[in-house]
């Protein structure tokens, strides 16, 4: 078995197996607004966008790892034991043990993996993903203003108030006017959405049913 880094841990991965059966997994993801192009998911480590059903690509083969350009590797099947590519997903027990909490996004995906699958004690790397649902926490993640007047954009330092914070919760995106790059989504309450935007920024919001229609999969509150 090959040792591979999963977050801050190293785990022994099993050999690749090809399966027509779907393997259940959980994964964190950003929900991106593509302005006129609807919504998509984006990985929290390798920031590539994908839809509710997608095939993985190797970021190193594309010459991109995170924001760092690297030498392109020779073509190989995805995922491969020798590489770190593929869709990553956790087993339910790893989620329940909070082994991989993240403060970069509030959105967790319930997914099914298939095709080429590599397993380990924590979860799987896979060739194909089908997103069954997006779980959204009932907590307002609007940034608060710190004592020095700076906005804290890390959700860990956001409002953090459970419903009812100040009204209903919606998915929200803050975009610089004239900027058509994809924008990272968050979860804000009515009161925070109604606050003035910074100069040069525009704000859009969606209900969960509206987001579900754009993403092509269920979006629901986490119980």
> What band does 73 get if pLDDT is binned at 50, 70 and 90?
low
pLDDT at 222: 85
| Containing structural domain, residue 80 | 22-29+41-133
- Does residue 208 lie within any of the structural domains? no
- Does residue 96 lie within any of the structural domains? yes
- The position carrying tokens 């967790």 is 108
- Does residue 13 lie within any of the structural domains? no
- The position carrying tokens 């959405």 is 193
- Does residue 92 lie within any of the structural domains? yes
Which tens digit of pLDDT belongs to each residue from 129-176? 999 999 998 888 887 655 554 444 444 445 655 555 656 889 999 988
- Does residue 138 lie within any of the structural domains? no
Give CA–CA dist 182/168, Å, rounded: 25
- Does residue 98 lie within any of the structural domains? yes
DSSP H or E run through 172: strand 169-176
- The position carrying tokens 């760092």 is 68
- Does residue 62 lie within any of the structural domains? yes
Number of domains observed in the structure of the chain: 1
Give CA–CA dist 45/52, Å, rounded: 18
Is the pLDDT reported for residue 32 higher than 50?
Answer: yes
Average pLDDT over residues 177-205: 87
- Does residue 200 lie within any of the structural domains? no
């Amino acid at each position: 078995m090959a040792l591979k880094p999963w977050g801050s841990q190293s785990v022994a991965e099993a050999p690749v197996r090809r399966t027509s059966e779907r393997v259940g997994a959980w994964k964190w993801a950003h929900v991106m607004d593509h302005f006129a192009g609807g919504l998509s998911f984006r990985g929290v480590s390798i920031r590539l966008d994908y839809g509710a059903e997608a095939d993985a690509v190797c970021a190193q083969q594309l010459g991109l790892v995170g924001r760092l350009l690297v030498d392109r590797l020779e073509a190989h099947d995805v995922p491969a034991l020798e590489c770190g590519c593929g869709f990553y997903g956790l087993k339910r027990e790893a989620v329940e043990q909070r082994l991989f909490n993240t403060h970069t996004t509030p959105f967790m995906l319930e997914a099914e993996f298939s095709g080429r699958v590599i397993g380990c004690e924590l979860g799987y790397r896979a060739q194909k993903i089908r997103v069954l649902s997006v779980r959204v926490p009932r907590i307002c993640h609007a940034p608060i203003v710190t004592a020095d007047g700076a906005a804290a954009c890390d959700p860990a330092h956001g409002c953090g108030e459970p419903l009812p914070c100040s009204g209903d919760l919606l998915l929200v995106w803050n975009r610089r006017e004239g900027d058509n790059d994809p924008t990272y989504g968050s979860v804000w309450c009515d009161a925070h959405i109604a606050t003035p935007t910074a100069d040069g920024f525009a704000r859009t919001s969606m209900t969960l049913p509206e987001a579900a229609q754009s993403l092509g999969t269920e979006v629901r509150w986490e119980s």
